[in-house]
Amino acid sequence: MPTIPKHRLKTPSQGQLCPPLSRRSPHSTRKKTIYRSLCLALALLVAVTVFQRSLTPGQFLQEPPPPTLEPQRAQKPNGPLVNSNNFWKNPKDVATAMTVASQGPQAWDVTTTNCSANINLTHQAWFQGLEPQFRQFLFYRHCRYFPMLLNHPEKCGGDVYLLMVIKSVITQHDRREAIRQTWGRERESAGGGRGAVRTLFLLGTASKQDERMHYQQLLAYEDRLYGDILQWDFLDTFFNLTLKEIHFLKWLDIYCPHVPFIFKGDDDVFVNPTNLLEFLADRQPQENLFVGDVMQHARPIRRKDNKYYIPGALYSKASYPPYAGGGGFLMAGSLARRLHHACDTLELYPIDDVFLGMCLEVLGVRPTAHEGFKTFGISRNRNSRMNKEPCFFRAMLVVHKLLPPELLAMWKLVHSNLTCSRKLQLL
Ligand SMILES: *[C@@H]1O[C@H](CO)[C@@H](O)[C@H](O)[C@H]1NC(C)=O
Ligand SMILES: *[C@@H]1O[C@H](CO)[C@@H](O)[C@H](O)[C@H]1NC(C)=O
Ligand SMILES: *[C@@H]1O[C@H](CO)[C@@H](O)[C@H](O)[C@H]1NC(C)=O
Ligand SMILES: *[C@@H]1O[C@H](CO)[C@@H](O)[C@H](O)[C@H]1NC(C)=O
């Protein structure tokens, strides 16, 4: 059995409904139980109130509220808003609130998109020679942050140990559904006295105009049911995946600053949460943990027919810094917050996992390779027996790539009464 990691016992933070009891206080278990019950009752009351309010018929299938007319520029968020209605707090509380506020915004502070194409580029010869998708990318490269359409500020309330965030697009409802039924299922405890495991999907808006209205309403409904969608007002295209990356990191910095660990991945992978949690059991959140399927000295692809083609005008160096495949990786929450600031110093790069490697390089942190992450494919041989071998999946942490029917079937097999040879377990 893994021992309880020390990091769990953090000091009560402001605004938390039920701060954990201090570890040194000599409370008896009985007192703890009463305290817990009281907190639970209070939390339930709040939850019921929120639920009832949010289900008023008018709001049920409403479009997201229109952005306010405040002239706030998308690319340069203004300073934090400090509430002046602090008279009811004692002076000490106010002081703390101000210090916290000075570190960063308390809520998503981008409410309008006011970012026009950088037409300066059109005069430059190298730009005119680029493929249309790269021109599109460069036109809007300076537009860094967009408003939120669906948010869940409450997601990290209480004691959350692991936050699982999954990149998804609006049309792939079936993938989200399969993940909720399998590896993305939330848990109240990660085991060994650790906190909860929570799940969120990260989305932009439909990339095709005709899909937008219809799917947006369905998504709002899906979010009412599950409460697990974060959506931002940018087009969900391949090159905008980097936007998704930096939007999530900014979100985390605001709404989830104390989570010890984060798993981030795609919606077409198989994840073994039991193994993830076992792996994390002897890690400390203050470590620079960043682990996945790491590529060393990868070269930018110069063949135009490849999905990952990058013209020399966009990246001229011979190789990329080390990076972990975006299909699925683990990182410490504290490192993720530092990454947020590091990424803000760089220009956006169209490949999201490479971009994150660049941010890590700014911090001087090297990602760690682990055998259990197979995000660049299992075997070069497509017909390899491994692709269908449940004992293999049981031994892994993340495997690319499984679509909903395969994922559901494999999940069932892995959790059946399986007898695996020792050799595979060690893989
Ligand atoms: C948007 O930007 C344009 C040009 O920079 C400016 O004229 C306009 O006032 C801005 N609008 C808002 C709402 O900020
Ligand atoms: C375009 O060029 C002008 C003048 O050099 C500069 O002020 C402006 O910031 C540039 N626009 C962008 C989006 O870089
Ligand atoms: C990214 O999203 C923005 C905002 O919706 C859009 O203007 C831009 O064209 C998108 N970029 C690419 C490369 O698709
Ligand atoms: C599972 O396997 C064990 C040992 O191989 C066996 O004793 C047990 O009966 C099996 N259970 C089921 C439900 O098949």
Q: Pick the residue whose CA is nearest to atom 5 on ligand 4.
A: 419
Contact (Cβ atoms closer than 8 angstroms) between residue 262 and residue 336: yes
Strand partners of residue 247: none
How far apart are the CA of 114 and the centre of ligand 1, in A? Answer: 6
Segments making up each domain of the chain, as ranges: 148-372
Residue 258 pLDDT > 50:
yes
Q: For 401-425, what is the mean pLDDT?
A: 86
How far apart are the CA of 120 and the centre of ligand 2, in A? Answer: 6
How far apart are alpha carbons 22 and 42 in whole angstroms?
20
How far apart are alpha carbons 201 and 227 in whole angstroms?
10
Q: Which helix (H) or strand (E) holds 369?
A: strand 368-369
Going through 126-251 in order, the beta strands assigned E by DSSP cover: 148-150, 160-167, 196-205, 229-235
How far apart are alpha carbons 293 and 291 in whole angstroms?
7
Q: Is the CB of 417 under 6 A from ligand 4?
A: yes
Choosing from 138, 141, 234, 243 the residue with most ligand 3 atoms within 8 A of its CB, the one to mutate for a pocket test is 234
Going through 261-357 in order, the beta strands assigned E by DSSP cover: 261-266, 269-271, 290-292, 294-295, 323-324, 328-332
Confidence of residue 103 (pLDDT cuts 50, 70, 90): confident
How far apart are alpha carbons 222 and 213 in whole angstroms?
14
Q: For 165-189, what is the mean pLDDT?
A: 98
Q: Which two tokens stand for residue 194?
A: 């650790």
How much is the pLDDT for 14? Answer: 35
CA atoms in the 13 A half-sphere facing the CB of 277: 26
Strand partners of residue 271: 398
Q: Which two tokens stand for residue 130?
A: 């680029």
How much is the pLDDT for 382? Answer: 55
Q: Is the CB of 120 under 6 A from ligand 2?
A: yes
How much is the pLDDT for 383? Answer: 59
Contact (Cβ atoms closer than 8 angstroms) between residue 187 and residue 284: no
| CATH 1.10.1060 describes domain 148-372 | no
Q: What is the pLDDT of residues 342-383, one digit of tens each?
A: 999 999 999 999 999 999 999 999 999 999 999 886 654 555
Q: Pick the residue whose CA is nearest to atom 13 on ligand 1.
A: 71
pTM (predicted TM-score) = 0.76
Q: Is the CB of 345 under 6 A from ligand 4?
A: no
